[in-house]
Amino acid sequence: MKVLNQTDKEYLLKTIRDVKDFPKPGIVFKDITTLLNDEKAFGFLMDHLKTRYEDEKIDFVAGIESRGFIFGAALATKLGCGFVPIRKPGKLPYTTISEKYSLEYGVDEIEIHIDAFKSKQEIPKVLLIDDLIATGGTATAAVTLLKKVGVNCFEACFLLNLTFLQGDEQVKKHTNVYSVLEID
């Protein structure tokens, strides 16, 4: 599967804005809205992901709330497959299944419709996508949730990987991981 060369990675990185001290002092937030509103950069990213996954025969792209919805829905359209949202509790209108995961100070939870993948007869092949992986808690919970509903989550894809937090190592225990860009 295709990966970007260093020049292309630098091009995309230049379209992502750093916001210092957000959401709290000492944090440098990676603001992807500047990439999204650059039609050339966003188109380039989506074309790259389409090229990477077009031969994989993916049945669904599952996106983690909320920025994973942006990349996931756009990629699903390009690949000609379905999109499934993974949401925070209480946001989905039908029967759901959930997975809890630990945070630094507490517990959070994500949900998916229990019948999200029922349109396929065999075990669906699913790509998980989100904008960023940090500590890996949400992504690991999402992979676990996908396995609970009986799909093959063959890879988790992230635009940005904060490698110094090693969250990708947690997710790699459950599925393959691809990061378009890595931040050391």
What is the set of active-site residues? 67, 104
Q: Where are the beta strands (DSSP E) in the chain?
A: 17-20, 28-31, 60-64, 82-86, 96-103, 106-113, 125-133, 152-162, 176-183
Closest to 153 in 3D by CA, of 123, 108, 180, 122 = 123
Q: How many CA atoms lie within 13 Å of 144's alpha carbon, on the beta-carbon side?
A: 16
Query: Do the beta carbons of residue 138 and residue 108 sit within 8 Å?
Result: yes
Q: What is the DSSP letter of 90?
A: T
